[in-house]
Amino acid sequence: MKPGADPYDVYLSEYLNGADRKFCDAYFEKIKGAIVPLIRRVGEKRQVGNHFLKGSFAIEKQRELSKYLMEVMTLPPDHCVLGEVEHPCMIGLDINDIRITTHYYQDNLPMSLFSVIHEAGHGLYELGIQPAYRNTILKTPISSAMHESQSRFFENYIGRSEAFCGVFLPKLQEIFSDHFADVTAHELFLAVNKAEPSLIRIQADELTYSMHIVIRYEIEKMLFDGAIAVAQIPETWRHLYKEYLGVGVPDDEHSALQDVHWSGGMFGQFPVYSLGSAYAAQMLDAMKKDFDVYASVAEGNLTPIVDWLGEKIHRDGGALDVADLLLQSCGAPFDPSYYIEYLTEKFSVIYQLD
């Protein structure tokens, strides 16, 4: 960044490969204008059922499911291991050595299920960087937002698709027969896509997730601009959660204390989680023009998807900036309309919107 640059732009650029407040403002204003009304329309409809996702799920059996998911995700066991931590993450020690982690909750099967898929997406990115970049600065993915695009691509666009639900449902029925014996793939698809405003970001559904990011982004701007003091964060938080998600915040545990980013000085990182989803939507659209993505998923064959992303995204590591990488992979500059259209189409079908 140039001397005299907006301090917040400096923080944003650390995670977004040079993107600034102007870019983020335009992006968030566009998605807010579409997603907030969509959330309200969904909220007026009858909720989908997910009773079979509730109850007790033995952790040892969850570990068995995770092993199966890693195989389906094509993660090579010689170059990737799965560990258990408090907060799931992926650590790339080398382009041939990545570690993914999850956290098991006996009463919350989807948390570990989708965290494994999410972190596997991160891992596939780093495993796909071309060997020529090993031990160079280019072995690092170009931005946190692009990294997040790969994890959210697999977690949501693949993992929460009806085609993928049909793939892993038989395994769920085998491992957790008491819960899933009579469940259909369509019922599972509806359940794992249940959209309902909530208070905890990492537990948010695909539709409402970006609004959690908008709230944090707007608070960060206020802090850097001096518009609010730190002591005013809880009050501002309550106001924005009511405005964008329509929910009340009962205490600080469900407010700013749930994330470690601010206490760790990681200002400017939150936008990557939403932008990654938007990048992924545009990639999916481009991928569909090359082959039938969900037909491949329905066969349990993710290799064509991993190969496409490997050629278009992964192999280049840090050699291309985000704009050029998106142009290369999608044939067009970044456009958040793909993300909006994806969410609108998907949740209109799930909730039978007019």
Catalytic residues: 119
CB 107 within 8 A of CB 57: yes
Question: How many Å apart are CA 288 and CA 86, to the nearest integer?
Answer: 36
Which segments within 95-229 are labelled E, that is strand?
A: 97-102
Residue 328, classed as helix, strand or coil, is helix
Record the tokens describing residue 106, joined without a space: 């006996």
Question: How many Å apart are CA 13 and CA 346, to the nearest integer?
Answer: 32
**Which helix H or strand E contains 93, and what residues bound it?**
strand 90-94
Please name the residue that has the structure tokens 């142009």: 327
CB 203 within 8 A of CB 111: yes
Q: What is the largest CA-CA distance in the chain?
A: 63
C-alpha count within 13 angstroms, C-beta hemisphere, residue 51: 5
C-alpha count within 13 angstroms, C-beta hemisphere, residue 140: 8
**Which helix H or strand E contains 94, and what residues bound it?**
strand 90-94
CB 43 within 8 A of CB 208: no
Residues 6+ apart with CB under 8 A from 38: 207, 343, 344, 347
Output phi, psi for 268, to 5 deg: 90, -5
CB 171 within 8 A of CB 65: yes
